[in-house]
Chain A
């Protein structure tokens, strides 16, 4: 078994309104960053997984994201392995 470090990014689907992102966007504008637009806030999960191969690690990560870490109704995910 090898150990893999995964960085998982969970983001709101583009069709879902993100009021927290809008609030942060207006905060940034008040700070003077007037060029800022389209702020979207998501989640970031780090985990370590033991697996027989990188492929197996990826399969397990896809499953855990689909079942639990992301809600497919409102969220997309992607991950990187290190």
Chain B
């Protein structure tokens, strides 16, 4: 059975929400991993949760990147094993270089806390295989720095290689600027690396997993990860 590890930095605040989903809702083995740990050999899937690691000082994710655990996370990813970064976790994965681009201040400067529509662009990968191609799902976002940016060269490569997982869209699945909450280039909400084993997403699937919170479309993502 796939074992989940959830990295906990000083300032992480979605770590236990993720553990609630993997351990309590899905009954999957789950271990909390303090940022000073370095032995991750028992883990199959590593999740870097949302929050404000190290107070978001300097840049979001810039300091977490140098935590002792991150060297082991990079090794884990280089072995082809799964790493998923959610929100602050996505920011950390770009800072450490496992994913291209960067997440910067939202276009309209507001911290946005909403449910948004997302179009699923890839369904052949471990974290999205339970969705159907072009499916529109609804997940919450909660961020002040979620505007995906990459230089034109990197963005083109990302699109050419089909590395976009989710895009912000209208409820009917159209990709346009009205549906773009934060000014992300090409409405990008989630991406993967070239190899398809490292995932970064600004939306919070763990906040749409327990029926008591009114939505369960995020639970499928964790379930799907555990089935690969």
Contact A73 B102 (CB under 8 A): yes
Q: Note all chain B residues with C-beta closer than 8 A to A49.
A: none
Contact A19 B106 (CB under 8 A): yes
Contact A17 B66 (CB under 8 A): no
- Interface code B166-191, partner A: CB below 8 Å = 1, 0 otherwise? 00000000000000000100000000
Least Cβ–Cβ distance between A47 and chain B, in angstroms? 13
In whole angstroms, what is the CA distance A73 to B62 when docked? 13
Whether A74 touches B102, Cβ cut-off 8 Å, given contacts A68-B62, A69-B58, is: yes
Contact B101 A73 (CB under 8 A): yes
**Contact of B108 with A by CB under 8 A:** yes
Whether A19 touches B95, Cβ cut-off 8 Å, given contacts A68-B62, A73-B149, A74-B102, is: no
- Interface code B104-123, partner A: CB below 8 Å = 1, 0 otherwise? 11111100000000000000
Least Cβ–Cβ distance between A43 and chain B, in angstroms? 8
- B66, B102, B107, B109: which contacts A71 (Cβ < 8 A)? B102
Whether A74 touches B104, Cβ cut-off 8 Å, given contacts A16-B149, A68-B66, is: yes
- A15, A19, A43, A68: which contacts B105 (Cβ < 8 A)? A19
**Contact of B31 with A by CB under 8 A:** no
Using C-beta atoms within 8 Å of the partner chain, give the interface range for chain A: 10 to 19
- B59, B109, B151: which contacts A20 (Cβ < 8 A)? B109
Q: Note all chain B residues with C-beta closer than 8 A to A74.
A: 102, 104, 149
Q: Note all chain B residues with C-beta closer than 8 A to A15.
A: 151
Q: Note all chain A residues with C-beta closer than 8 A to B149.
A: 16, 73-74
Q: Note all chain A residues with C-beta closer than 8 A to B183.
A: 17, 19
Q: Note all chain A residues with C-beta closer than 8 A to B101.
A: 73
Contact A19 B59 (CB under 8 A): no
Least Cβ–Cβ distance between A32 and chain B, in angstroms? 23
Q: Note all chain B residues with C-beta closer than 8 A to A17.
A: 107, 183
**Contact of A50 with B by CB under 8 A:** no
- Nearest B residue (CB) for A70: B59
In whole angstroms, what is the CA distance A69 to B58 when docked? 7
Least Cβ–Cβ distance between A11 and chain B, in angstroms? 14
Least Cβ–Cβ distance between B225 and chain A, in angstroms? 28
Contact B108 A19 (CB under 8 A): yes
Instruction: Please report which residues of chain B, range 122-167, place their CB below 8 angstroms from some CB of chain A when the two chains form the complex.
Output: 149-151
Interface residues of A (CB under 8 A from B): 15-17, 19-20, 23, 43, 68-69, 71, 73-74
Given contacts A17-B107, A73-B94, 15 further A-B contacts (CB under 8 A): A16-B104, A16-B149, A19-B105, A19-B107, A19-B109, A19-B183, A43-B58, A68-B58, A68-B62, A68-B66, A69-B58, A71-B62, A71-B102, A73-B101, A74-B102
